[in-house]
Amino acid sequence: MQFKSFYLKYVAHEQSEEIVSQNFSVFENDHLRIEFLLEDLSGDKIYKVHITPKTEIEFIDFYIETFFDYSESRGVFCNGFQSWTETKIFDKTDKIPGQRKFIKKIAEAYGDGLFYDYKNKTGVVHSWTYTYIKQPKRRVQFFGSLSDKTGYTVFEHHAKENKMLIKKDCKGFITSENVELLNIFSSLSHEKICFDNYFEAQQLTPVKVKPAIGWTSWYYYYTKISEKIIEENLESFAKNNIPIEIFQIDDGYQKAVGDWLNFNERFPNGLKNIVEKIHRHNIKAGLWLAPLTCEHNSFIVKDHPDWILKNDTGKFLKIGFNPLWSYWFYALDVYHPEVRAYLKKIFDTVLKDWNFDLVKLDFLYGVALIARNGKSRGQIMHDSMEFLRECVEEKMILGCGVPLIAANGTTDYCRIGPDVHMDWDFKLLKWIRARERPSTQNAIHNTISRRQLSGNWFLNDPDVFVLRKNKNSLSFEEKYSLLLANLLFGHLLFTSDNIGEYDAETLLLYKSIFPLMQASDVDVSYKNDFYTIRFRINERNFLALINTSDTSRMYKLPDNLFFDNVKEDFIKGGKMIEIPGHASKCYLAVGYMPFAIAGSKGHFFAGTEIESIYLSGNKIELEWTPGILNDVKVYIKVPVEYDVESINKSGNFIRTEKKDFSIIEVEKRKL
């Protein structure tokens, strides 16, 4: 990368000023001094821009134009603006168009459309906070902001022109103090090394929470929840002896969005007694809130209109439209002292009086859609998240609808994808180019594409998986693809299904996710909406194939023996297989060792039900993994000539002869 020029627009003494220069040493005029610093970090680089004002200045715009050769690019990773925004690897010939004009008024507020100028040109894509360009030999050129507290950082790729702009969304930032306007980390290496070094350079605080499985009410009941519905679903987990860790009550308990301390008629006894029942089952209780938001019918609009952000014409700033609420909803002014007092009262009540353990805080982006109070959008978002962290104290925060850089260090879990849709995609919203739309396809893209953040900035919440056969249009293959992506790369695994309605087959699949198994040594390849994922769980090696496209893909299996735990079938490698559109496969790689766990049925990831296998003469001993909920069937690969006398001191097994090996089938039933 070669720096070519920089541009700065600002206001000083009520006069607008512009600087365009190719001088990257020191620039100075009557208003300010700009220094460009380069640090070497064991082969990686850090670029900094320091500004020393000589008077009070108001930033309007800043960017650096660089030369970057995209001729060998294998794809450009673009991180979306907030939790729900489409995030994936784009081809260097792609473009990211803005939303269709007739819908902009309703949908653009969810993302960056109100303040980012979409170019709508082939080869032009943009990424927030961090980005990378795939290079030959499995390397990537990585760029990431080390701090966005002075304003969001945008990387704008112009592949046809071999140009990248590094932009700082600094509009509205007023200061007379020294400021580090830009702090960019750069690395050229394997993808994992780049991310590891990036996180190390950020000097992150360790994430305290652990991966968890839970339930949330939203995607089955939406706002139509009641005290009875909540308690019935809680009892379903107890009845089936399923050890979830978090039980979350979502939207629908409150009188209105913004009126959090008054319950509607479906919760006549409030929530405190429900929390006590959740805790009696040794489960943590979670509650959904949109604390920086109010809907049109809320008491805030009627009694405290001064709490609500206003647009340039003095009207309420609309940050979204929801037909399940009273249509338009608005953002609160987080700097208003009465708003702060109200929010502190809410959190004290929810967390100390009602005794919830976790709050899911949603629609957070809206508080920072406009610069104000001498602060940029990024500064406001960081201030807001730090205030919410202060209010919640040591209880857990699940962030949602938030620019992820501001959730770093302020949330415990964070949504990294859009709402799952009850179809593969929301076709109408896709047509209008809404990048924050509910979409199962985009949820999978985001879950895989933002996997590196989990365990570093927070633990990733990929949104729910869906297994039920009613109240949705997803096929089994689509539900399996979603579940597979969530299990591999999510660390907060929620469903909203009423598990009491599951048939035996669906309940077996649901119980197969217990206990959570953590993938390691993960290697992801992506091309044309097709993911090839190699990973390891304990000592088992796996191959996952996820086809997010609408058409079939052909894939040549490596030379190996594989086990398909959906079909309970063995597949020899070295041949082409077809993966239909929206479908996935997850294979256990059995290998060619004479003795091996060759497959199983019990856990989602075949073979993980066995921690160890021991051979003693003609006797086999299996050490079972604790926490498995299903009956387990295990397949053991042995040489044809090997005579098995017993398995775990029992002769109760079935032997099947194959051409080159034998398969021993043994079952373990739960008591």
Query: What integer pLDDT is reported at residue 514 of this predicted model?
Result: 98
Query: What integer pLDDT is reported at residue 108 of this predicted model?
Result: 76
> For residue 168, is pLDDT > 70?
yes
Task: Look up residue 369 and give its DSSP letter.
Answer: S
> For residue 671, is pLDDT > 60?
no
> For residue 369, is pLDDT > 90?
yes
Residue 152: count of CB within 10 angstroms of its CB: 27
Asked if residue 417 lies in contact with residue 451, where contact means CB atoms within 8 angstroms, the answer is: no
pLDDT tens per residue across span 456-476: 999 999 999 999 999 999 999
> For residue 659, is pLDDT > 90?
no
b/e burial code for range 176-206 (CB count within 10 A of at least 16 → b): eeebebbbbbbbbbebebbbebbbebbeeee
> For residue 396, is pLDDT > 90?
yes
> For residue 355, is pLDDT > 70?
yes
Query: What integer pLDDT is reported at residue 1 of this predicted model?
Result: 85
Band the pLDDT of 418: cuts 50, 70, 90: very high
Handedness of CA 85, 86, 90, 93 (dihedral sign): negative
- Average pLDDT of the residues in 422-450: 96
The fraction of the chain above a pLDDT of 70, given in percent, is 99
- Average pLDDT of the residues in 485-493: 98
pLDDT tens per residue across span 499-539: 999 999 999 999 999 999 999 999 999 999 999 999 999 99
pLDDT tens per residue across span 581-605: 999 999 999 988 899 999 999 999 9
User: Which of 319, 375, 363, 381 has the alpha carbon at shortest distance from 128?
Assistant: 381
> For residue 42, is pLDDT > 70?
yes
Indicate the pTM of the whole model: 0.96
User: Which of 595, 656, 608 has the alpha carbon at shortest distance from 634?
Assistant: 608
Query: What integer pLDDT is reported at residue 107 of this predicted model?
Result: 65
Domains by residue range for the chain, with CATH = 2-202 (2.60.40), 212-290+337-513 (3.20.20.70), 523-668 (2.60.40.1180)
> For residue 365, is pLDDT > 80?
yes
Query: What integer pLDDT is reported at residue 102 of this predicted model?
Result: 67
Task: Look up residue 227 and give its DSSP letter.
Answer: H
* Distance in angstroms (rounded) separating the CA atoms of residues 445 and 448: 5
- Supply the mean pLDDT for the chain: 96
pLDDT tens per residue across span 247-279: 999 999 999 999 999 999 999 999 999 999 999
- Average pLDDT of the residues in 385-400: 98
> For residue 354, is pLDDT > 70?
yes
Beta strands in 528-609 (DSSP E): 530-537, 540-547, 553-556, 561-564, 569-572, 576-579, 584-589, 596-601
pLDDT tens per residue across span 70-129: 999 999 999 999 999 999 999 999 999 998 876 666 667 899 999 999 999 999 999 999
* Distance in angstroms (rounded) separating the CA atoms of residues 565 and 549: 23
pLDDT tens per residue across span 295-344: 999 999 999 999 999 998 999 999 999 999 999 999 999 999 999 999 99
Query: What integer pLDDT is reported at residue 104 of this predicted model?
Result: 60
Asked if residue 485 lies in contact with residue 546, where contact means CB atoms within 8 angstroms, the answer is: yes
Query: What integer pLDDT is reported at residue 103 of this predicted model?
Result: 65
